[in-house]
A = this chain, B = another copy of it.
Protein backbone atom coordinates (compact mmCIF):
# COMPACT_ATOMS: atom_id res chain seq x y z
CA UNK A 1 0.00 0.00 0.00
CA UNK A 2 1.39 3.30 -0.99
CA UNK A 3 0.89 7.03 -0.61
CA UNK A 4 0.05 9.15 -3.66
CA UNK A 5 0.86 12.83 -3.88
CA UNK A 6 0.22 15.14 -6.80
CA UNK A 7 1.45 18.60 -7.72
CA UNK A 8 3.74 20.71 -9.81
CA UNK A 9 7.49 20.29 -9.87
CA UNK A 10 9.68 23.34 -10.31
CA UNK A 11 13.31 24.25 -10.54
CA UNK A 12 14.36 26.72 -7.90
CA UNK A 13 17.26 28.97 -8.87
CA UNK A 14 18.97 30.45 -5.84
CA UNK A 15 21.91 32.86 -5.91
CA UNK A 16 24.96 31.11 -4.49
CA UNK A 17 26.80 32.38 -1.41
CA UNK A 18 23.82 34.26 0.02
CA UNK A 19 24.09 36.94 -2.66
CA UNK A 20 21.26 39.18 -3.77
CA UNK A 21 19.75 38.66 -7.23
CA UNK A 22 21.43 41.86 -8.28
CA UNK A 23 24.93 40.65 -7.62
CA UNK A 24 24.51 36.98 -8.43
CA UNK A 25 26.38 35.52 -11.37
CA UNK A 26 26.20 32.02 -9.93
CA UNK A 27 22.94 30.30 -9.07
CA UNK A 28 22.30 26.91 -7.57
CA UNK A 29 19.43 24.94 -9.08
CA UNK A 30 17.24 22.68 -6.99
CA UNK A 31 14.40 20.53 -8.29
CA UNK A 32 11.40 20.46 -6.02
CA UNK A 33 7.96 21.84 -5.46
CA UNK A 34 5.72 21.28 -2.45
CA UNK A 35 4.08 17.93 -3.18
CA UNK A 36 7.22 16.38 -4.59
CA UNK A 37 8.88 17.20 -1.28
CA UNK A 38 6.06 15.43 0.50
CA UNK A 39 6.51 12.45 -1.81
CA UNK A 40 10.27 12.14 -1.50
CA UNK A 41 10.29 12.67 2.26
CA UNK A 42 7.73 9.94 2.92
CA UNK A 43 9.59 7.62 0.58
CA UNK A 44 12.90 8.23 2.33
CA UNK A 45 11.26 7.55 5.70
CA UNK A 46 10.24 4.15 4.40
CA UNK A 47 6.72 4.10 2.95
CA UNK A 48 6.29 3.60 -0.83
CA UNK A 49 5.07 6.70 -2.66
CA UNK A 50 3.86 7.48 -6.12
CA UNK A 51 4.06 11.01 -7.45
CA UNK A 52 1.63 12.32 -10.04
CA UNK A 53 2.36 15.33 -12.22
CA UNK A 54 2.88 16.39 -15.80
CA UNK A 55 6.38 17.19 -16.98
CA UNK A 56 7.50 18.69 -20.27
CA UNK A 57 9.09 16.44 -22.90
CA UNK A 58 12.48 18.09 -22.56
CA UNK A 59 15.65 17.64 -20.59
CA UNK A 60 14.27 19.49 -17.55
CA UNK A 61 11.29 17.15 -17.47
CA UNK A 62 13.64 14.19 -17.72
CA UNK A 63 15.81 15.43 -14.89
CA UNK A 64 12.82 16.14 -12.66
CA UNK A 65 11.74 12.55 -13.12
CA UNK A 66 15.22 11.21 -12.39
CA UNK A 67 15.35 13.26 -9.18
CA UNK A 68 12.23 11.43 -8.04
CA UNK A 69 13.66 8.06 -9.08
CA UNK A 70 16.81 8.83 -7.12
CA UNK A 71 14.63 9.16 -4.04
CA UNK A 72 12.81 5.92 -4.79
CA UNK A 73 9.51 7.53 -5.72
CA UNK A 74 7.37 5.72 -8.28
CA UNK A 75 6.91 7.75 -11.44
CA UNK A 76 4.93 5.55 -13.77
CA UNK A 77 1.86 7.81 -13.85
CA UNK A 78 3.67 11.01 -14.66
CA UNK A 79 2.27 12.52 -17.85
CA UNK A 80 4.65 14.13 -20.32
CA UNK A 81 4.08 17.07 -22.66
CA UNK A 82 3.24 20.74 -22.53
CA UNK A 83 5.39 23.83 -22.79
CA UNK A 84 7.72 24.22 -19.88
CA UNK A 85 8.71 23.34 -16.35
CA UNK A 86 7.72 25.93 -13.76
CA UNK A 87 10.53 27.94 -12.23
CA UNK A 88 11.08 30.03 -9.19
CA UNK A 89 13.91 32.30 -8.19
CA UNK A 90 14.72 32.40 -4.53
CA UNK A 91 16.91 34.99 -2.87
CA UNK A 92 17.92 33.81 0.56
CA UNK A 93 17.59 36.57 3.12
CA UNK A 94 19.77 37.14 6.14
CA UNK A 95 19.09 38.62 9.53
CA UNK A 96 16.64 41.50 9.05
CA UNK A 97 16.65 41.16 5.26
CA UNK A 98 13.79 38.91 4.17
CA UNK A 99 14.05 36.15 1.59
CA UNK A 100 12.32 36.81 -1.71
CA UNK A 101 10.69 34.45 -4.17
CA UNK A 102 9.87 35.33 -7.74
CA UNK A 103 7.62 32.74 -9.27
CA UNK A 104 7.79 32.06 -12.98
CA UNK A 105 5.43 29.13 -13.27
CA UNK A 106 2.87 30.39 -15.79
CA UNK A 107 1.97 28.03 -18.64
CA UNK A 108 3.78 25.13 -17.08
CA UNK A 109 3.17 21.58 -18.28
CA UNK A 110 1.22 20.73 -15.15
CA UNK A 111 -0.76 23.99 -15.07
CA UNK A 112 -1.89 23.25 -18.59
CA UNK A 113 -2.45 19.55 -18.00
CA UNK A 114 -5.79 18.03 -18.95
CA UNK A 115 -7.91 15.76 -16.83
CA UNK A 116 -7.37 13.09 -19.48
CA UNK A 117 -3.66 13.04 -18.65
CA UNK A 118 -4.36 11.10 -15.46
CA UNK A 119 -6.18 7.81 -14.89
CA UNK A 120 -6.98 8.07 -11.20
CA UNK A 121 -8.61 4.69 -11.12
CA UNK A 122 -5.29 3.16 -11.98
CA UNK A 123 -3.28 5.65 -9.93
CA UNK A 124 -5.18 4.82 -6.76
CA UNK A 125 -4.97 1.06 -7.04
CA UNK A 126 -2.99 -0.12 -4.02
CA UNK A 127 -2.98 3.39 -2.55
CA UNK A 128 -3.83 4.12 1.06
CA UNK A 129 -3.46 7.90 1.16
CA UNK A 130 -3.78 10.81 -1.23
CA UNK A 131 -2.31 14.24 -0.61
CA UNK A 132 -1.93 17.52 -2.42
CA UNK A 133 -1.76 21.17 -1.44
CA UNK A 134 -3.87 24.23 -2.12
CA UNK A 135 -1.25 25.33 -4.63
CA UNK A 136 -2.29 22.59 -7.04
CA UNK A 137 -5.91 23.62 -7.74
CA UNK A 138 -4.75 27.24 -7.83
CA UNK A 139 -2.54 26.69 -10.85
CA UNK A 140 -5.34 26.75 -13.43
CA UNK A 141 -9.00 25.87 -13.92
CA UNK A 142 -7.88 22.60 -15.39
CA UNK A 143 -5.91 21.87 -12.26
CA UNK A 144 -8.93 22.67 -10.12
CA UNK A 145 -10.89 20.06 -12.02
CA UNK A 146 -8.09 17.52 -11.81
CA UNK A 147 -7.74 17.95 -8.07
CA UNK A 148 -11.45 17.70 -7.43
CA UNK A 149 -11.69 14.63 -9.58
CA UNK A 150 -8.76 13.07 -7.76
CA UNK A 151 -10.26 13.64 -4.32
CA UNK A 152 -13.60 12.25 -5.42
CA UNK A 153 -12.01 9.14 -6.82
CA UNK A 154 -9.87 8.75 -3.72
CA UNK A 155 -12.90 8.82 -1.42
CA UNK A 156 -14.72 6.46 -3.72
CA UNK A 157 -11.87 4.04 -3.19
CA UNK A 158 -11.81 4.53 0.56
CA UNK A 159 -8.43 6.20 0.55
CA UNK A 160 -7.47 8.61 3.31
CA UNK A 161 -7.09 12.15 1.96
CA UNK A 162 -5.20 15.18 3.15
CA UNK A 163 -4.67 18.73 1.96
CA UNK A 164 -2.21 21.41 2.96
CA UNK A 165 -4.08 24.66 2.35
CA UNK A 166 -1.02 26.74 1.42
CA UNK A 167 -2.69 29.88 0.09
CA UNK A 168 -0.73 31.70 -2.63
CA UNK A 169 -2.16 35.13 -3.31
CA UNK A 170 -0.40 35.51 -6.62
CA UNK A 171 -2.12 32.39 -7.98
CA UNK A 172 -5.75 33.07 -7.15
CA UNK A 173 -8.14 35.37 -5.32
CA UNK A 174 -9.72 34.69 -1.96
CA UNK A 175 -13.07 34.25 -3.69
CA UNK A 176 -11.80 31.75 -6.20
CA UNK A 177 -9.97 29.84 -3.50
CA UNK A 178 -13.05 29.64 -1.29
CA UNK A 179 -15.26 28.51 -4.15
CA UNK A 180 -12.80 25.75 -4.91
CA UNK A 181 -12.30 24.68 -1.31
CA UNK A 182 -16.03 24.47 -0.78
CA UNK A 183 -16.10 21.69 -3.36
CA UNK A 184 -13.00 19.94 -2.11
CA UNK A 185 -13.50 19.96 1.64
CA UNK A 186 -16.21 17.29 1.71
CA UNK A 187 -13.64 14.81 0.51
CA UNK A 188 -10.92 15.71 3.00
CA UNK A 189 -9.92 13.68 6.07
CA UNK A 190 -6.84 15.53 7.25
CA UNK A 191 -6.53 19.29 7.00
CA UNK A 192 -3.24 21.17 7.32
CA UNK A 193 -3.13 24.94 7.34
CA UNK A 194 -2.23 28.00 9.37
CA UNK A 195 -4.70 30.62 10.51
CA UNK A 196 -4.09 32.85 7.54
CA UNK A 197 -4.81 29.99 5.14
CA UNK A 198 -7.88 28.95 7.11
CA UNK A 199 -9.25 32.44 7.21
CA UNK A 200 -8.70 33.16 3.53
CA UNK A 201 -9.55 29.80 2.06
CA UNK A 202 -12.19 28.53 4.44
CA UNK A 203 -13.52 31.84 5.74
CA UNK A 204 -12.98 30.94 9.37
CA UNK A 205 -11.57 33.85 11.34
CA UNK A 206 -9.25 33.36 14.32
CA UNK A 207 -7.87 35.88 16.71
CA UNK A 208 -4.61 36.88 18.21
CA UNK A 209 -2.27 35.36 15.70
CA UNK A 210 -0.38 37.54 13.29
CA UNK A 211 1.60 35.49 10.86
CA UNK A 212 3.33 38.59 9.49
CA UNK A 213 4.67 39.71 12.82
CA UNK A 214 5.61 36.28 14.07
CA UNK A 215 3.17 36.38 16.98
CA UNK A 216 1.43 33.07 17.62
CA UNK A 217 -1.72 32.38 19.57
CA UNK A 218 -1.97 28.67 20.20
CA UNK A 219 -5.26 29.05 22.05
CA UNK A 220 -6.75 30.85 19.08
CA UNK A 221 -5.70 27.94 16.91
CA UNK A 222 -7.43 25.50 19.18
CA UNK A 223 -10.76 27.27 18.84
CA UNK A 224 -10.48 27.30 15.08
CA UNK A 225 -9.39 23.68 14.88
CA UNK A 226 -12.42 22.60 16.88
CA UNK A 227 -14.74 24.48 14.55
CA UNK A 228 -13.07 22.96 11.50
CA UNK A 229 -13.40 19.48 12.94
CA UNK A 230 -17.12 20.06 13.44
CA UNK A 231 -17.89 21.69 10.14
CA UNK A 232 -15.97 19.34 7.91
CA UNK A 233 -16.09 16.13 9.90
CA UNK A 234 -12.31 15.72 9.73
CA UNK A 235 -10.09 13.09 11.28
CA UNK A 236 -7.28 15.49 11.98
CA UNK A 237 -6.38 19.18 11.77
CA UNK A 238 -2.80 20.34 11.99
CA UNK A 239 -0.53 23.32 11.49
CA UNK A 240 3.06 24.35 11.77
CA UNK A 241 3.87 27.25 14.09
CA UNK A 242 6.73 29.31 12.79
CA UNK A 243 8.05 32.17 14.91
CA UNK A 244 10.08 34.35 12.60
CA UNK A 245 12.66 36.15 14.71
CA UNK A 246 14.62 36.98 11.59
CA UNK A 247 15.44 35.54 8.20
CA UNK A 248 18.21 33.55 9.91
CA UNK A 249 16.59 32.35 13.11
CA UNK A 250 13.13 30.92 13.69
CA UNK A 251 11.25 29.08 16.36
CA UNK A 252 9.46 25.99 15.07
CA UNK A 253 6.79 23.79 16.55
CA UNK A 254 3.63 22.10 15.32
CA UNK A 255 0.09 21.64 16.57
CA UNK A 256 -2.05 18.58 15.83
CA UNK A 257 -5.65 17.92 16.82
CA UNK A 258 -7.50 14.64 16.32
CA UNK A 259 -10.84 15.68 17.70
CA UNK A 260 -9.87 14.47 21.14
CA UNK A 261 -6.55 15.92 22.01
CA UNK A 262 -4.45 18.91 21.08
CA UNK A 263 -0.77 18.08 20.85
CA UNK A 264 1.70 20.94 20.73
CA UNK A 265 5.16 19.63 19.96
CA UNK A 266 8.37 20.75 21.60
CA UNK A 267 9.73 23.93 20.07
CA UNK A 268 12.96 23.88 18.10
CA UNK A 269 15.14 26.97 17.95
CA UNK A 270 16.40 26.84 14.39
CA UNK A 271 19.35 28.53 12.80
CA UNK A 272 17.98 28.28 9.28
CA UNK A 273 19.99 26.87 6.41
CA UNK A 274 17.04 26.73 4.01
CA UNK A 275 13.54 27.19 5.34
CA UNK A 276 12.00 26.00 2.09
CA UNK A 277 10.22 22.67 2.40
CA UNK A 278 9.50 23.00 6.11
CA UNK A 279 5.75 22.90 5.61
CA UNK A 280 5.84 20.09 3.07
CA UNK A 281 8.08 18.07 5.35
CA UNK A 282 5.54 18.49 8.12
CA UNK A 283 2.85 17.03 5.87
CA UNK A 284 5.20 14.19 5.02
CA UNK A 285 6.02 13.43 8.64
CA UNK A 286 2.35 13.57 9.56
CA UNK A 287 1.26 11.23 6.78
CA UNK A 288 4.08 8.79 7.47
CA UNK A 289 3.20 8.75 11.16
CA UNK A 290 -0.51 8.26 10.47
CA UNK A 291 0.11 5.46 8.00
CA UNK A 292 2.22 3.80 10.69
CA UNK A 293 -0.44 4.42 13.38
CA UNK A 294 1.93 6.31 15.66
CA UNK A 295 -0.72 7.80 17.93
CA UNK A 296 -1.19 11.53 18.19
CA UNK A 297 1.67 12.35 20.57
CA UNK A 298 4.30 10.50 18.60
CA UNK A 299 2.78 11.68 15.34
CA UNK A 300 3.08 15.27 16.48
CA UNK A 301 6.65 15.01 17.69
CA UNK A 302 7.76 12.97 14.71
CA UNK A 303 6.28 15.41 12.20
CA UNK A 304 7.86 18.30 14.10
CA UNK A 305 11.28 16.65 14.01
CA UNK A 306 11.06 15.76 10.32
CA UNK A 307 10.10 19.31 9.41
CA UNK A 308 12.62 20.98 11.72
CA UNK A 309 15.48 18.95 10.26
CA UNK A 310 14.59 19.98 6.72
CA UNK A 311 15.32 23.58 7.53
CA UNK A 312 18.95 22.76 8.27
CA UNK A 313 19.44 21.35 4.75
CA UNK A 314 19.92 23.35 1.60
CA UNK A 315 17.69 22.54 -1.36
CA UNK A 316 14.11 21.42 -1.69
CA UNK A 317 14.28 17.75 -0.78
CA UNK A 318 14.46 16.68 2.87
CA UNK A 319 17.57 14.51 2.69
CA UNK A 320 17.23 12.88 6.07
CA UNK A 321 16.87 9.33 7.30
CA UNK A 322 14.22 7.85 9.53
CA UNK A 323 16.90 7.35 12.20
CA UNK A 324 17.86 11.01 12.19
CA UNK A 325 14.26 12.07 12.71
CA UNK A 326 13.84 9.61 15.57
CA UNK A 327 17.09 10.73 17.18
CA UNK A 328 16.05 14.37 17.10
CA UNK A 329 12.57 13.54 18.34
CA UNK A 330 14.16 11.69 21.24
CA UNK A 331 15.97 14.81 22.33
CA UNK A 332 19.34 14.72 20.59
CA UNK A 333 19.36 18.42 19.80
CA UNK A 334 22.85 19.40 20.88
CA UNK A 335 24.45 18.85 17.51
CA UNK A 336 27.38 16.84 18.90
CA UNK A 337 29.47 15.13 16.26
CA UNK A 338 28.25 11.63 15.32
CA UNK A 339 31.42 9.56 14.98
- Residues of A at the B interface (CB closer than 8 Å) are 13, 16-30, 58-60, 62-63, 66-67, 69-72, 83-84, 87, 89, 93-104, 106-107, 168-170, 211-214, 244-249, 268-273, 275, 308-309, 311-315, 319, 324, 328, 331-339
CB-CB under 8 A for A99 and B313, given A25-B25, A29-B27: no
In the complex, the count of this chain's copies comes to 6
Q: Would you call A168 and B339 a contact (CB within 8 A)?
A: yes
Give the most central of A84, A97, A212: most B CB within 10 Å.
Answer: A97
Closest to A97 in B: B312
Closest to A58 in B: B102
Q: Would you call B66 and A308 a contact (CB within 8 A)?
A: no
Q: Would you call B29 and A336 a contact (CB within 8 A)?
A: no
Q: Would you call A94 and B273 a contact (CB within 8 A)?
A: yes
Partner of A335, one of B98, B273, B331: B98
- Residues of B with C-beta under 8 A to A89: 60
Closest to A88 in B: B339
Q: Would you call A308 and B96 a contact (CB within 8 A)?
A: yes
Q: Compute how far the CA of A122 lies from the CA of B338 in the bound complex, rounded to whole angstroms.
A: 38
Q: Compute how far the CA of A94 lies from the CA of B337 in the bound complex, rounded to whole angstroms.
A: 11
Q: Compute how far the CA of A168 lies from the CA of B337 in the bound complex, rounded to whole angstroms.
A: 12
Q: Would you call A102 and B60 a contact (CB within 8 A)?
A: yes
- Residues of B with C-beta under 8 A to A98: 332, 334-338
Given A84-B104, A98-B334, 14 other A-B residues pairs in contact with their CB atoms under 8 A: A20-B313, A23-B315, A25-B25, A26-B28, A66-B72, A69-B72, A93-B335, A93-B337, A94-B313, A95-B271, A96-B270, A96-B328, A97-B312, A213-B334
Q: Would you call B60 and A212 a contact (CB within 8 A)?
A: no
Partner of A338, one of B25, B95, B100, B106: B100
Q: Would you call B338 and A99 a contact (CB within 8 A)?
A: yes
Partner of A107, one of B99, B102, B106, B270: B106
Q: Would you call A312 and B93 a contact (CB within 8 A)?
A: yes
List 22 interface pairs A-B (beta carbons < 8 Å), by A numbering: A13-B13, A19-B314, A22-B63, A22-B66, A23-B25, A23-B314, A27-B28, A27-B29, A66-B70, A67-B70, A83-B106, A93-B312, A94-B273, A95-B270, A95-B271, A96-B333, A100-B339, A107-B107, A244-B334, A245-B334, A246-B333, A247-B335
